[in-house]
Amino acid sequence: MKQYKAPVLSNQQVSERYWHMVVDTTIIDSSIDPGQFFHIKCADKYTPFLRRPLSVYRINKNTVEFLYLVKGKGTTEMTKIVEGETVDLMGPLGKGFVIDPTSKTVLLIARGVGVATLAAVAQESHEKNIHCVAILSARRKDDLLAAEFLEGFGVEVYKVTEEDGTSDVVDVRNMIVNEVFRKYKIDCIYTCGSRRLSQMSQLIGEQFDIPGQIALEEHMGCALGACYACVCDIQEEGVTKSVRVCIDGPVFPLSKVVL
Ligand SMILES: Cc1cc2nc3c(=O)[nH]c(=O)nc-3n(C[C@H](O)[C@H](O)[C@H](O)COP(=O)(O)OP(=O)(O)OC[C@H]3O[C@@H](n4cnc5c(N)ncnc54)[C@H](O)[C@@H]3O)c2cc1C
């Protein structure tokens, strides 16, 4: 287990509910992959006692960026960390996404802050000359802030929101099948952030014979495989088995996860 006190280069509110943190990772000597996460001590005190897991949003040579939704006590405490302070990180942890360099076009399907996890897939795909199409679903237009970030990597972004009445799963499925699949042969589907969208992604993956990967987000305790707080089920050769999201995942083959 690797634990670091990493300098915070910035920590800013980027929309009503989202914050963005940039951390200097010069002291981290291991490579960091899309889909991996850090287990973060949110405050320099005993509460909140449990760390909170955050995926890497963007991976740079000497920095890592996090995009986080302010949800409860942990993430609220994180907003109080200011530039120049350090943040206590454990990681990088977990098994990330596998990005096949022979892929030509891949589809990202993210709901809400799920985009924070998939953005690094877009970044690596861009580096590997793989075209990305992304469906970003959110409650409000204001929550679609990562769209521009993805577009910067050449991603073709489709935005759907509850506010616009465009985010219903049936409509999203129709958009994928009637627009995206007509335009491109999709080599892989990557998804994160919504059980309903993931179920739909699993079904279209099965129907159109497209492999997929999903990043699961469960409450975590230790993130080291010891506490079993983050167990979920997968199906392998007709047998259901329990896996720990922290060390067996958080990324799993989409077809295997019991949703
Ligand atoms: C691998 C992974 C990557 C993630 N990446 C991101 C990301 O990039 N951006 C983002 O915004 N969110 C991400 N999340 C979700 C994020 O971790 C949660 O939103 C965050 O932990 C919420 O913490 P909170 O204290 O602000 O909110 P709360 O919902 O208040 O905190 C969670 C509540 O549940 C309790 N709790 C936490 N863990 C446990 C547990 N193991 N057992 C029992 N109770 C528990 C806490 O004590 C607290 O009361 C990720 C989650 C996972 C698993």
Please check whether residue 185 is in contact with residue 105, taking contact to mean a CB–CB distance below 8 angstroms.
Answer: yes
Cα–Cα distance measured from residue 35 to residue 54, given in angstroms and rounded to the nearest whole number = 10
| Region(s) of the chain under CATH 3.40.50.80 | 105-215
Can you say whether residue 198 is alpha, beta or left, with left for phi > 0 and alpha for psi between -120 and 50 degrees? alpha
Mean pLDDT of 132-139: 96
Contact 125, 132 (CB under 8 A): yes
Q: Does the 105-215 domain belong in CATH 3.40.50.2300?
A: no
Q: Who's near 240: CB < 8 A, 6+ residues apart?
A: 233, 234, 258
The model's pLDDT over 204-237, given as tens digits with 9 standing for 90+, comes to 999 999 999 999 999 999 999 999 999 999 999 8
Residue nearest to atom 30 of ligand 1 (CA): 72
For residues 245, 249, 251, 254, the Cα torsion angle rounded to the nearest 10 degrees is: -70
Q: Where are the alpha helices (DSSP H) in 95-178?
A: 114-127, 146-151, 169-175
Which residues make up the CATH 2.40.30.10 domain(s) of the chain?
3-93
Q: Which of 163, 159, 145 is nearest to 15 (CA)?
A: 145
- What digits encode the pLDDT tens for the residues 56-87? 999 999 999 999 999 999 999 999 999 999 99
- State whether the beta carbon of 74 lies less than 6 angstroms from ligand 1: yes
* Residue extent(s) of CATH 2.10.240.10 domains in the chain: 217-259
Amino acid 1: pLDDT:
66
With a CB cutoff of 8 Å and minimum separation 6, the contacts of 213 are: 35, 97, 98, 188, 189, 190, 191, 251, 252, 253, 254
Residue 116 Cα to ligand 1 midpoint, Å, equals: 14
The conformation of residue 54, written as its DSSP 8-state character, comes to E
Distance 75 CA to ligand 1 centre (A): 8
Q: Is ligand 1 within 6 A of the CB of residue 80?
A: no
Q: Which of 113, 115, 227, 248 to mutate to test the pocket of ligand 1 (most atoms within 8 A of CB)?
A: 113
CATH class of 217-259: mainly beta
Is residue 241 within a helix (H) or strand (E), and if so which, with residue range? strand 239-244
pTM of the model: 0.94
Q: What is the pLDDT of residues 4-28, one digit of tens each?
A: 999 999 999 999 999 999 999 999 9
Given CATH 2.40.30.10, say whether it is the number of domain 3-93.
yes
Residue whose CB lies within 8 A of the most ligand 1 atoms, among 19, 39, 73, for a mutation test = 73
C-beta of 37 in contact with ligand 1 (< 6 A): yes
Looking at residue 249, its amino acid is G
Query: Which atom of ligand 1 is nearest the CA belonging to 215?
Result: 1
pLDDT at 162: 95
